[in-house]
Chains A and B, each alone.
Chain A
Amino acid sequence: MSLREYLRQRWRAMTWSWAPETELEASDAIVRNLWLHWFPNKVTLRSASWSYSLWLGTAAASLFVILLVTGMLLMFFYVPSVQTAYWSMKDIRFAVHFGFLLRNQHRWAAHLMVGVTFVHMARVFYTGAYRGARALNWLVGIVLLLTTLLLSFTGYLLPWDQLAYWAVTVGTNIAREAPLVGTTLRFLLLGGNEIGQATLLRFYVLHVFVLPAILLILFAYHMWRVRKDGGLAAAEPLRRSRRLTPTAPSPSKTYSIFGVRPGATLQTLATTHVEETDVAFSSPELTRRLTLVFLLVFNVTLLLSIMFDAPLEEAANPNLTPNPAKAPWYFLWLQELVASTTIRLGHVTISGGFIGGILIPGILLLLAAAWPFLDRSANSTEGVWWPRERLLQNLVFTAVAVAIVALIIVSLYFRGPSWGFYWPWQAWPPSPATL
Chain B
Amino acid sequence: MGLLLAVAGVAAVSRHSLTMRRFSRLESLDFPLLVVLSVAFFALVIAGVVRQASPDWGPIQERFRGVLEENGQLRAARAFTPGIRQLWLPELGRVDRCITCHLGYEWAGTLPATLPAPLAPHPPLPYLDAHPFTRFGCTVCHGGQGFAVTIRDAHGDVEHWDDPLLDRRIAARNGLTQSELMQLRCNGCHRREETTPGMETIAQAKELFRKNKCLVCHVVDGRGGVKAPELTFIGDQDPELFDFTHVTGPHTAFNWHVQHVTHADVVSPGTAMPDFDFPAEEGRALALLLLSWRRVDFPPSYLPGPSAVTAGEAPARQPVSPPVIAGAEAGREVFVTRGCNSCHGVGSGTVIGPDLKGVGGRRDERWLRSWLADPAAVIRATPDFQKWPAEYGNIVMPNQNLSTAEIDELISYLAKL
Against A, the Cβ 8 Å flags (1 = close, 0 = not) of B38-57 are: 10110011011001100000
- CB neighbours (8 Å) of A306 from chain B are 44, 47-48, 51
- From A48, A162, A431, A435, name the one whose CB has the most chain B CB atoms within 10 angstroms: A435
A-B contact count (CB 8 A): 111
Which residues in chain B, 128-151, are within 8 Å of chain A measured between CB atoms? 145, 147-150
Instruction: Identify the closest chain A residue to B164 (Cβ).
Output: A435
The answer to whether the Cβ of B335 comes within 8 Å of any Cβ in the partner chain is no
How many angstroms from the CA of A285 to the CA of B97 in the assembled complex? 52
The answer to whether the Cβ of A296 comes within 8 Å of any Cβ in the partner chain is yes
Cβ 8 A contact of A432, one of B86, B149, B173, B252:
B252
- CB neighbours (8 Å) of A97 from chain B are 52
Number of interface residues of B (CB under 8 A): 49
How many angstroms from the CA of A435 to the CA of B161 in the assembled complex? 13
Report the stretch among A88-96, A366-374, A384-392, A407-415 that lies at the interface. A88-96
Instruction: Identify the closest chain B residue to A286 (Cβ).
Output: B26
Interface SS of A by simple majority: helix
Task: Report whether A433 and B26 are in contact in the complex, using a CB–CB cutoff of 8 Å.
Answer: no
Against B, the Cβ 8 Å flags (1 = close, 0 = not) of A294-326 are: 011011001101100001111000001001000
Cβ 8 A contact of B37, one of A90, A98, A292:
A292
The answer to whether the Cβ of A246 comes within 8 Å of any Cβ in the partner chain is no
Task: Report whether B26 and A434 are in contact in the complex, using a CB–CB cutoff of 8 Å.
Answer: no
Task: Report whether A299 and B44 are in contact in the complex, using a CB–CB cutoff of 8 Å.
Answer: yes
- CB neighbours (8 Å) of B22 from chain A are 284
The answer to whether the Cβ of B239 comes within 8 Å of any Cβ in the partner chain is yes
Nearest CB of B to A121, in Å: 25
- CB neighbours (8 Å) of A98 from chain B are 48, 52
Number of interface residues of A (CB under 8 A): 43
Instruction: Identify the closest chain B residue to A433 (Cβ).
Output: B252
Which residues in chain B, 65-107, are within 8 Å of chain A measured between CB atoms? 84, 86, 93, 95, 97
Cβ 8 A contact of A292, one of B33, B97, B148:
B33
If A50-B29, A292-B34, A306-B48 touch, whether A434 touches B252 (CB-CB below 8 Å) is: yes
The answer to whether the Cβ of A289 comes within 8 Å of any Cβ in the partner chain is yes
Cβ 8 A contact of A435, one of B29, B51, B84, B173:
B173
Instruction: Identify the closest chain B residue to A90 (Cβ).
Output: B147
The answer to whether the Cβ of A422 comes within 8 Å of any Cβ in the partner chain is no
The answer to whether the Cβ of B416 comes within 8 Å of any Cβ in the partner chain is no
- CB neighbours (8 Å) of B161 from chain A are 314
Which residues in chain B, 229-258, are within 8 Å of chain A measured between CB atoms? 238-240, 242, 244, 251-254, 256
- CB neighbours (8 Å) of A305 from chain B are 48
The answer to whether the Cβ of A430 comes within 8 Å of any Cβ in the partner chain is yes
Nearest CB of B to A337, in Å: 27
- CB neighbours (8 Å) of B25 from chain A are 45, 280, 285
Cβ 8 A contact of A433, one of B38, B86, B149, B239:
B239
Task: Report whether B160 and A432 are in contact in the complex, using a CB–CB cutoff of 8 Å.
Answer: no
- CB neighbours (8 Å) of A298 from chain B are 41
The answer to whether the Cβ of B384 comes within 8 Å of any Cβ in the partner chain is no
Instruction: Identify the closest chain A residue to B41 (Cβ).
Output: A299
Cβ 8 A contact of B242, one of A50, A94, A432:
A432
Task: Report whether B240 and A431 are in contact in the complex, using a CB–CB cutoff of 8 Å.
Answer: yes
Task: Report whether B150 and A94 are in contact in the complex, using a CB–CB cutoff of 8 Å.
Answer: yes
Nearest CB of B to A79, in Å: 13
| Top-10 shortest CB links A-B | A432-B239, A90-B147, A432-B251, A313-B160, A295-B37, A302-B44, A434-B253, A94-B149, A299-B40, A433-B252
